[in-house]
């Protein structure tokens, strides 16, 4: 869409949301404009959906989300300019679910938000491991070479020092000092502390016993420690005189956190992480292929409800504990299945605008691994497309589970460009991954093409 059309889109959109006077805040994510409005009663979603360039719209709590697609940045800039609003950074976190004071979902979401900013580094580390493995298997790189050592070192360092990185992101999430958050992670990784842990001798601080645990390659201990520290720091900042606050608050906070973290919170986080890892292996061991089939079928619904963000801690834990994961393939299968359904509709429908929307959504899902455009404009609107996506996801997931397809790195893109994560020590793994995805695509395409009819389709 041209800049001129985005001008028209912005003009019409601002009118339908009650002009700029009705806008409290306007942000955007990967595919959507997100309006926080004073009065939602003036909004008519049907009229917004008719605007050229709008792929769909919905309410998420009190937030109006207008789906634009991959070019949302351009639409956002034009809309902000016309409304006289200051542009903000894109939203990384998943904010689609209604917030509650406390729930299992809110806890998992908070953990995911602490990890999300680190995805690029984790992805790079994982892909480096895959590259080293591939070059070694092909005989291009010797395990005795310094290049092999350096590449392995870089990949391992990112995971080893993860507690420090998580300390920074958790501090930002919980609203406390970035430096202190990183300090907590550094304490858990201190060579002196690790040597004490490795010695086997009892360790105490202020007379309290310290658990002998190695916290490298962990995420939960640091997150829990920083969460607890945020309350201490905020309390001290509130009650400490301004003249000495900058000195006393960090010192007292750190002194209080040393026994609290090493004796209670970090060991608790380690227990949670161990239980989480055990649960992951138990699910894969007991349910096996059925677990992958269920995940493949439910993935569109998980994305719709925002629950897919809860999978991030799971994938990272799997990579750090067993070095591979069996459920990740379900995300790829679902993306290609939704793309197949959209392509079938593009060939079957007589609506020119729908053809264009379906093709662009399919390309986004298959190539880029971003399904929101096709999910909100095709899958949730047409019953045959949703049915085909669910059935094909289950069938292809079952095949992937039976052939024991694993990913060997953290998934960045879940489209074509993310396929190298299935390259591993078993030569057939990538082949079975590709076959699984093709099965999902073909079943979804065929079902949708046979069942879809413009006149009878219920939106």
Query: Would you call 80 a catalytic residue per the annotation?
Result: no
What is the C-alpha to C-alpha distance for residues 389 and 375, in angstroms, rounded to an integer?
10
| Strands ordered across the beta sheet of 32-37 | 23-28, 32-37, 63-67, 56-60
Instruction: Please provide the DSSP assignment of 376-443 as one string.
Output: IIIITT-HHHHHHHHHHHHHHHHHHHHTT--B-S--S--SGGGGGGG--SSTTHHHHHHHHHHHHHHH
What is the C-alpha to C-alpha distance for residues 90 and 117, in angstroms, rounded to an integer?
12
Of 29, 114, 176, 263, which residue is the catalytic one? 29
Closest CA to 114 of 161, 156, 171: 171
What is the C-alpha to C-alpha distance for residues 85 and 264, in angstroms, rounded to an integer?
46
What is the C-alpha to C-alpha distance for residues 219 and 212, in angstroms, rounded to an integer?
17
What is the C-alpha to C-alpha distance for residues 333 and 392, in angstroms, rounded to an integer?
8
**Residues paired with 25 in a beta bridge:** 36
Contacts of 45 (CB under 8 A, 6+ apart): 57, 58, 59
The residue count for the chain: 459
What is the C-alpha to C-alpha distance for residues 128 and 122, in angstroms, rounded to an integer?
10
What is the C-alpha to C-alpha distance for residues 101 and 275, in angstroms, rounded to an integer?
24
What is the C-alpha to C-alpha distance for residues 402 and 420, in angstroms, rounded to an integer?
21
What is the C-alpha to C-alpha distance for residues 145 and 359, in angstroms, rounded to an integer?
47
Q: Are 364 and 70 in contact (CB under 8 A)?
A: yes
Q: How far is CA 364 from the centre of its chain?
A: 17
**Residues paired with 23 in a beta bridge:** 37
Determine phi and psi for 416, rounding to 5 degrees.
Answer: -55, -40
Contacts of 154 (CB under 8 A, 6+ apart): 125, 128
What is the C-alpha to C-alpha distance for residues 71 and 364, in angstroms, rounded to an integer?
11
Closest CA to 168 of 127, 109, 123, 116: 116
Mind telling me the catalytic residues? 29
């Amino acid at each position: 869409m041209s800049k001129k059309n985005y001008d028209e889109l912005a003009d019409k959109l601002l009118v339908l949301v009650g002009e700029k006077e009705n806008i409290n805040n306007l942000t955007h994510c990967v595919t959507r404009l997100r309006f926080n409005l004073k009065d939602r009663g003036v909004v008519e979603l049907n009229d917004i959906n008719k605007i050229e360039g709008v792929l769909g719209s919905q309410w998420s709590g009190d937030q109006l989300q207008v789906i634009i697609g991959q070019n949302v940045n351009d639409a956002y800039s034009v809309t902000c300019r016309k409304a006289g609003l200051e542009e903000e950074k894109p939203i990384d976190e998943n904010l689609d679910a209604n917030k509650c004071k406390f729930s299992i979902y809110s806890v998992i979401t908070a953990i995911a938000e602490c990890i999300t900013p680190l995805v690029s580094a984790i992805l790079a580390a994982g892909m480096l491991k895959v590259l080293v493995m591939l070059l070694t298997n092909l005989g291009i790189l010797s395990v005795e070479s310094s290049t092999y050592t350096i590449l392995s070192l870089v990949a391992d360092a990112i995971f080893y020092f993860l507690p420090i990185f998580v300390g920074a992101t958790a501090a930002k999430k919980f609203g406390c000092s970035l430096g202190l958050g990183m300090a907590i992670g550094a304490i858990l990784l201190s060579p002196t502390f690790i040597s004490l842990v490795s010695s086997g001798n009892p360790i105490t601080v202020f007379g309290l016993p310290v658990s002998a645990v190695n916290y490298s390659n962990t995420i939960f201990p640091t997150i829990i420690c920083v969460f607890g520290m945020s309350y201490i720091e905020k309390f001290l900042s509130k009650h400490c005189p301004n003249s000495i606050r900058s000195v006393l608050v960090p010192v007292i906070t750190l002194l209080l956190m040393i026994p609290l973290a090493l004796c209670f919170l970090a060991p608790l986080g380690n227990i949670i992480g161990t239980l989480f890892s055990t649960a992951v292996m138990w699910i894969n061991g007991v349910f096996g292929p059925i677990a992958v089939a269920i995940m493949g079928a439910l993935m569109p619904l998980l994305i719709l409800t925002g629950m897919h963000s809860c999978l991030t801690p799971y994938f990272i834990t799997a990579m750090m504990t067993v070095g591979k994961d069996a459920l990740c393939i379900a995300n790829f299968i679902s993306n290609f299945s939704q793309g197949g359904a959209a392509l079938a509709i593009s060939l079957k429908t007589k609506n020119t605008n729908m053809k264009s929307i379906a093709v662009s959504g399919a390309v986004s899902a298959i190539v880029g691994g971003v399904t929101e455009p096709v999910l909100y404009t095709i899958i949730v609107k047409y019953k045959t497309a949703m049915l085909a996506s669910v059935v094909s996801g289950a069938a292809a997931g079952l095949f992937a589970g039976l052939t024991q397809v694993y990913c060997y790195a953290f998934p960045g893109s879940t489209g074509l460009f993310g396929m190298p994560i299935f390259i591993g020590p078993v030569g057939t793994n990538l082949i079975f991954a590709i076959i699984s995805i093709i099965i999902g695509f073909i079943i979804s395409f065929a079902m949708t093409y046979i069942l879809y009819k413009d006149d009878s389709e219920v939106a």
